Chains A and B, each alone.
Chain A
Amino acid sequence: MNATPAMPAVAGDEKRWRLVEAVMRRCGFRGDALIETLHAVQETYGYIDETSMRRVAAALNLPLSKVYGVATFYHFFHLKPQGRHTCVVCLGTACYIKGADAILQRLRERFGIAAGETTPDKHLSVMTARCVGSCGLAPAVVLDQQTLGHVGPEDVVHHIEELPS
């Protein structure tokens, strides 16, 4: 893990941490609640940082290595902060056949970031998904939790440009 301490996402933020704690309590602070807990951390803070992992490890009585191992195994967990807006480009088979890579390429041209990256001003993160299950609407993107179907590269750019800053 990074030698420099990560930004303490939870410093002075005990109120939000209680949401995470509630999930752990519901599962009786058992070790098998790890994945549920990491979901709660990500939902609360937007990502999972080192501080959170240490606190989860302590609360569930697990080695930090196990928490880190699980957090990095699953693609759904982010270890870095996301932008204020997220655009998930579906790379499922149907979307791929219908030109999802052209959307990614256009986003790279327009916003200067590739999949998995965030703009320097933290406005936008571009991500990819294995399949969002909207194959009937391919190609699809999920912009701030909202699925947009039958979109071309220009439509996606247009939708993103209309987002509030």
Chain B
Amino acid sequence: MTPEALQQVAKAEKDAIARQPQRIGVCTAAGCLSCKSGEVLKNLQTALERRPDIPYRAAGVGCMGLCAHGPLVSVEPDGLLYQDVKPNDVPALVESLATKPLAEKRCDTTAPFFIRQTKVVLDKFDVIQPERLESYLAAGGYTALMDCVTRRTPAEILDEVKRSGLRGRGGGGYPTGLKWETVAKANGARKYVICNADEGDPGAFMDRSVLECAPHRVLEGMAIAGLAIGATAGYIYVRAEYPLAIARLKLAIRQAEKFGLIGDHICGSAFSFKVEIRLGAGAFVCGEETALIASIEGRRGQPRPRPPYPAERGLWGFPTLINNVETFANISAIITRSADWFASMGTATSKGTKVFALAGRIQNTGLIEVPMGISLREIIYDMGGGAPGGHSVKAVQTGGPSGGCIPADQFDLSVDYESLKKLGSIMGSGGMIVMDETSSMVDVARFFMEFCKSESCGKCVPCRVGTTQLHHLLEQVRERRASRADLARIESLCDMVRTTSLCGLGQTAPNPLLSTLKFFRHEYEELLVDNHAEAPR
């Protein structure tokens, strides 16, 4: 389709919304669906059909963030949000549309959880219907791609992304524009774009939500990247554990192909870009670029030494750009709203916003998007509501198995790549697991070491043997069978694994252990057999 024809589709959809402004949105992301939001939606639609006097129409929309109180239901144009809506609440809810709002189900949208957010990646999730491309078009979707295809040169796109200051959202924080430029400059008969949707960090579900709620936003970002670097094919490597995300991605690709937004001659131009899905199969190490490439090539997901980096020699030996889901989801906004707008958010070195998944011992579990530079205190206490049941927050774990635990007395820390690193953690992909005083930090360290031990691909010895030994030693500590000498052994082993492992998995595996040792050393020492002795034997 030509850009004009697509604009017509968008306009028709917008007109339909204007004619029918009374809309009920039911969250149909995986979290709410497992609390029966699908049934809520069906009941609503049936009930509304029987009540022609009530002008509202119900549709499934994306994630509204507060997963703790799902299913969430929004009522427009009244601006109401209802929480914990069960299928049998539907009659009362329908009745309320003709009378007055249901007070007992109201969710306070003026709470800090909602008003402190700045939405770029999660923008309009509450109105976009994930399974309809028209809905994404009406929300301004694909205008960035059309703009790039018809009016901008690859160099201009690269410049825009570079000036935005966007950094990789998968964890590493490598400047996205620089990565794109390297692949654009690399020599290769073919080039590839890969979207890393193998969200392996336990405790992180941002990418899942983006794929489920706005798959087109990711496709659009990938196509723009393809245009900028000169690639004609892209792969989305998505974990098999996310069946809904896979189904919606497949549907989105088919729709985009039908509308001429993916495939040959995008928007009638000379630019062609195909996208295929590749399923992960449950290997955390495949989050590492070279292991991910091996997996797409149908091999065991084992990393190889870098350089050469995938930007020079990647998929099947050709220059390859790998970015994470959230990174791609930022691209369309940067193009339509400008690099300067994007760079006006955040800190000097960490620009824009970041999506975090709040989970663990915290009141308001769910998804939030906040400007970089916000303090952990604001996230955990103001937005998250602190720990439930009168407990006190002890620490927050960021960055999954590669990150660390940050104690509550450091919560004034600004959330940006550098500050988190300074404390021995990392930004990571955005999982934040809150722990209260009932959590043992030794046990948390053991949990992550068990994870790394089991997920180590076995290729290099320091990681394969080191994580096994560290896990064994941590078991000893937990069972009160370790001595001071063992603790010293743990520390030197950590150093060895960190400095000599082949890939990121091994190099960062000691992080949870080291950070808990740094901030909660007394918890380890209390468990030592010679705790009260003056010095080790």
Contacts and interface: CB of A to CB of B under 8 A. Distances in A.
A54 interface: no
B283 A35 contact: no
Most buried by B among A33, A74, A129, A148: A74
A36 B431 CA distance: 29
Nearest to A70: B300
Nearest to A40: B279
A93 B202 contact: yes
B424 interface: no
Interface residues of A, number: 40
A135 B281 contact: no
Nearest to B200: A130
A76 B34 contact: no
Contacts of A5: none
A147 B30 contact: yes
Contacts of B33: 147
Contacts of A32: 296-298
Contacts of A148: 34
Contacts of B455: 130
A77 interface: yes
A160 interface: no
A138 to B, nearest CB: 6
Contacts of B367: 136
Most buried by A among B240, B281, B367: B281
Nearest to B361: A97
Interface string A94-118: 1011100000000000000000000
Interface string B274-291: 000011111110000000
A135 B242 contact: no
B205 A134 contact: yes
Most buried by B among A34, A38, A93, A130: A93
B31 to A, nearest CB: 5
Place the interface of chain B in its size category: 35 or more
A145 interface: yes
Contact of B298 (A70, A132, A136, A145): A70
B447 A130 contact: no
Contact of B284 (A39, A91, A130): A130
A46 interface: no
B320 interface: no
Contacts of A133: 30, 199, 204-205, 208, 241-242
B397 interface: yes
A39 B208 CA distance: 20
B203 interface: yes
Interface in B255-305: 278-284, 295-301
Given A134-B30, A135-B365, A93 B298 contact: no
B20 to A, nearest CB: 31
Nearest to B299: A70
B34 A149 contact: yes
Contacts of B280: 74, 76
A116 B201 CA distance: 21
Contacts of A136: 31, 67-68, 70, 205, 357-359, 365-367
A69 interface: yes
Contact of A35 (B278, B284, B457): B278
B203 A94 contact: yes
Most buried by A among B35, B205, B397, B400: B205
Contacts of B120: none
B447 A93 contact: yes
B433 A147 contact: no
A73 B300 contact: yes
Contacts of A140: 34
Given A73-B300, A136-B31, A147-B34, A35 B241 contact: no
A97 B202 contact: no
Contacts of A97: 360-361, 433, 435, 439, 444
Contact of A135 (B70, B204, B283, B361): B204
Nearest to B284: A130
A92 B203 contact: yes
Interface in A59-77: 66, 69-70, 73-77
B243 interface: yes
Contact of A131 (B67, B202, B243): B202
Contacts of B297: 32
Contacts of A38: 281
A30 to B, nearest CB: 8
A108 to B, nearest CB: 18
B451 interface: yes
Given A36-B278, A74-B281, A75-B281, A138 B34 contact: no
A137 B208 CA distance: 14
11 contacts: A39-B281, A70-B299, A74-B280, A93-B202, A93-B400, A96-B447, A133-B242, A134-B205, A136-B358, A137-B35, A147-B33
6 tightest A-B CB contacts, nearest first: A136-B67, A74-B281, A76-B282, A92-B202, A94-B359, A135-B359
Interface of A: 30-36, 38-39, 66, 69-70, 73-77, 91-94, 96-98, 129-138, 140, 145-149
